[in-house]
Amino acid sequence: MVYFADMHTHSTASDGQYAPGELVGLAKEKGLTLLGLTDHDTLDGIPEAVEAAGKAGLRVLPGIEIGAKEYRSLHLLGYGVSLDDPGLNGFCEQMKAARDERKYRIIDFLKEKGVDIDLGEVEAHAKGGVVARPHFARVMLEHGYIKTNREAYEKYLDTDEYKRIAIRRMSARDCIETLHRAGGKVSFAHPYQVKLDDGALEGLVRDLKGWGLDAIECYYTKHTPEMQAFYLSLAGKYGLHVTGGSDFHGELVKPDVPLGRLELELDWLLDG
């Protein structure tokens, strides 16, 4: 069965602009029949989203996005995970604590670079969720330290110097196994962000498949037609399913990334 879906979105439970219920409302307006809520390192937004989806007449698939240690932008999307799994919940609690501690280190790091902003303003943008880099970027933008959100990452929050305060991550293999134990299936998110050439990327996909990877996010906002074709060929070669999503955070966070509406065959994900 084909669904009108966006399988990669974020809410205020992590670093998105909209509360989970508001995000469901946007999905309804977009004509989606299925929404994948995949906040970073947390499941906190899922109950609100599922409740709102029941009233709106669409389906929310519980999801999560987690990063692996091998590459800074090696991210894995877990779909259909149990909200009661002790292993995954333990991981989420560890990440929440790590992010809470990291926010002070980010403030100090930015001050070293001449960017003096108030942590209270950053926390206000998080709206009760975990404080993440996009919240810092928004305050920096408001105070004129940067002209675009992207500039915050290029100059400060995604540099080699920043790596010394980055959160420690599990291996990709451990990420996949953690998500599988929670009853989920796993997709390799936005492959282009790992910044490997085609041969090295295929080697990574082969390794991930060996560790249990289920799918590749072939359809993504920033993928060129050539990238998309290559990722589809990898999916076929290694027997992987195909997923897609926008990586929607809201126009204040990612102004150039609207909510998606992809036609995806997802029975393998929903019936298993």
pLDDT of residue 272: 53
Sign of CA dihedral 187, 190, 194, 197: positive
β 75-79/59-67 pair status: antiparallel
pLDDT category, 164, cuts 50, 70, 90?
confident
DSSP 161: G
Region 101-117 average pLDDT: 96
pLDDT tens, residue by residue, 195-243: 999 999 999 999 999 999 999 999 999 999 999 999 999 999 999 999 9
Say whether pTM exceeds 0.85.
Answer: yes
Amino acid identity of residue 105, one-letter, is: R
145-182 burial code (b ≥16 CB/10 A, e <16): bbeebeebbeebbeeeebeeebeebbebbebbbbbbeb
The DSSP-derived string for 187-238 is EE--GGGG---HHHHHHHHHHHHHTT--EEEEEETT--HHHHHHHHHHHHHT
pLDDT at residue 129 in the model: 81
Determine contact, residues 75/65, Cβ cutoff 8 Å.
yes
Report the distance separating Cα 219 and Cα 17, nearest Å. Answer: 22
Tokens read off for 147: 């002209």
Q: Where are the domains of the chain?
A: 2-91+168-270
Angle, helices 225-237/198-210, rounded to nearest 10 degrees: 40
Q: In this structure, is the dihedral angle defined by the CA atoms of residues 4, 79, 266 and 206, taken in order, positive or negative?
A: positive
pLDDT of residue 130: 83
User: How far apart (Å, rounded) are the C-alpha atoms in residues 41 and 54?
Assistant: 24
pLDDT band at residue 271, thresholds of 50, 70 and 90? confident
Please state which CATH class domain 2-91+168-270 belongs to. Answer: alpha beta
Mean pLDDT of the residues in the chain: 95
Classify 270 in phi/psi space as left (phi over 0), alpha (psi -120 to 50) or beta: alpha
